[in-house]
Structure 1
Amino acid sequence: MLNGAVSQATASDVNARIDAVWRIEAARVISALGRIVGDLGLAEELAQDALVAALEQWPSEGIPRNPGAWLMTTGKRRAIDRIRRDVTLREKITIIGRELKDQEDPYDEVDERIDDAVGDDLLRLIFTACHPVLGSDARVALTLKAVGGMSTAEIARAFLSSEATIAQRIVRAKKTLLTKQVGFEAPTPQELPERLPTVLSVIYLIFNEGYVASSGDDWLRPQLCHDALRVGRMLCGLLPEESEVFALTALMELQASRIGARTDRNGNAVLLLDQQRSRWDRLLISRGLRALDRAHALGGARGNYALQAALAACHARAARAEDTDWATIAAIYATLAEESPSPVVELNRAVAVGMAYGPQAGLDLVDQLLDVPALQRYHLLPSVRGDLLAKLDRPEEAAAEFRRAADLAGNEQDRALLIKRAESAEA
């Protein structure tokens, strides 16, 4: 048995532990191996090899005291085996071998050099996956897969596309990186303005997939939110003069503060206005407000993420739902519509207008969006319309809209909530 390993664990316990460890360590292992082999596709393959080795050995030999270090070391050994097959890379064998040579039990101790480089390696992984040689959709899909640990099905849902299309997109992206000889490198200062926006959009997509799961039975996947927040905080440290980095991190901190109140004790979804605000995380709110102040100090008050964070801050500052400053929220949405126009922004503005100036004012705006192609399959359009109709005492129309929204919803919790609202309107 490995030194420090846990004994007498059942197979199910070990498999559950492996799943948890992999969720936490996958991006770190892939990014570190990517720095070694310079190939994202190969790095992911080597990391999977290490996972398979864990699945084979841990049930019988026990779980190592430091499972992350075990996976990292095993992946590096696999890298050495691969590199030995290429005579042009003999020098790398020496470098990697030197890191392992003096360890009595490489599976028992953390390699401090690896641990110190985790942040840089993860950023290299993100910037590599978002490299300009790839198309925009490929950058997002590849990063969600390699860094976020999302399945192809989840990414397909985010793109409103098929799993086969997304799988092909990821494969082609890896081949492009290999063909173009894109190394694991962070961008130069000259490249940063071009590449940073895509990186930020990827991070926020990962966060949103955790904050409102696009499919499945779970309303939340908090680990995805935590992963995105971790990367956002690292970016703040590495790019201290980039206002949008702080703005995005502020937005994620403020939204994450509500995670504990977004479901009831049975796991059912709880809407914003019905949440127990005493369950909001005040530490995350404080962090978010400080990050937003930093974004403003850097001159980014009218940036996309800064405006969204300002909206979240309005909710965070309201001790009760009825204290919410909806007029200010409507005004911020109007500014956001000017800076970053989109049908979804207009739909959210309609909600705020309805809260600030009455449901009819909101419904008038929503009805202007009914023929917008991008919203035809968006379940929140009929959901918002149903809510406004219910407030206008038009229950039959409201119920019909809620049921239409339920038919379009991809998440089971969303669907159940909308059906419940339809039944309530009918009653």
Structure 2
Amino acid sequence: MRYGEATVTVVDPRSYMTYQPFLPEAAAGSISPRHVVVPLRRVLPKAEVLTGRVTTIDQDRKVATIAPLTGEAYELPFDYLVVAMGAVSRTFPIPGLAEQGIGMKGIEEAIGLRNHVLEQLDKADSTTDEEIRRKALTFVFIGGGFAGAETVGEVEDMARDAAKYYKNVSREDMRFILVDAADKILPEVGPKLGAYGKEHLEARGVEVYLSTSMDSCVDGHVVLKNGLEVDANTIVWTAGVKPNPALARFGLPLGPRGHIDCEPTLQVKGTDYIWAAGDNAQVPDLAARRAGVENAWCPPNAQHALRQAKVLGDNVVSGMRGFPQKEYSHANKGAVAGLGLHKGVAMIVMGKMKIKLKGRLAWYMHRGYHGLAMPTWNRKIRVFADWTLGMFLKREVVSLGAIESPREEFYEAAKPAPAAKTETPAGARTEERAKAS
């Protein structure tokens, strides 16, 4: 666009963007958490960034209502609208899940999981109560897709390394459990590599239970449909995602699973001034449909979202100037997944040929692909620097659980001391009772 031709306003409840494929490595300490996020105001210097939430959209007046972090809500007019709110964790009404579960959708959760796991090792090393120790060293992961398999692989690696520094804790004392309702894990890389991933995790001592789910986890008592019951302080929920539920309030056409129904041009159906992309959009997969797959939709992954964004940006400018819209089409290039340090699986699609890799080579493919896909050269360099230092220096195993409530210690020191109770002499109490009577 020409200078001054338009104003681009970005509204987001966070002032940064998170590169989610790196969350498992951030949870394991392989990458600094700061290097997994990109500050919006720094990378979008020509845009207006508002920290808040869009609560409603009035399509007739072309006005969005913004609820900032503090202060009163206000209206923001627009000519063109792009909805890219992403997805949230898909949960079910399981007793105890809200109180006990840990998600893996944001960097805060990855940091919290890392501190929590190391804190459990501290507890187990310092107690003589066998029940407390067993519960602290039991880790349950629900969901066997990319997020679940990668997270359990990275966290198991970290816990194995950390156990070397505890006199009373060893890897054999820990119990890792991976649960999935499907009959396989890592479906994105195909059945053969998924089976290899399952065998690999089991060889490392991870119990994998397929075709089952969790019935409850009240107070950490996990009950699975297959009859298994365990007590665990750590329950990680990675059982898929769903579109942001706020979409239901915007009056946009939604698909059967809550995604915004879009044309192949990424325009929202029935409009000529609203576009959508990424995890919250239902976009026809033209490449798959041309290959004979009926009713194919683009899967919610970074591979499509990054490419959709470029087409969407061009189409918005074309819409402003009255030019025709371009349809989005992209053939799947494969998938990569890391299962811990030097371990991974990869499926590379080259035309009609599929190359399947596993082990160290697949792990290099995983790091190389995501390292180059990480936004901005600033973050690329920092991530590769973290990996390079990790080759020569030992992994950090420090738990900083206090950062979750940093003011607690100061509050304990600064709060007023309780008033001291003064004892009344027995004779005085007798005299007071006599006066009262």
Q: What TM-score, normalized to structure 1?
A: 0.23
Rg larger in structure = 2
Q: Kindly indicate which of the two structures has a greater share of residues assigned to helix.
A: 1
Report 1 or 2 for greater relative contact order, CA contacts < 8 Å, sequence distance ≥ 6. Answer: 2
**What's the TM-score once normalised by structure 2's chain length?**
0.23
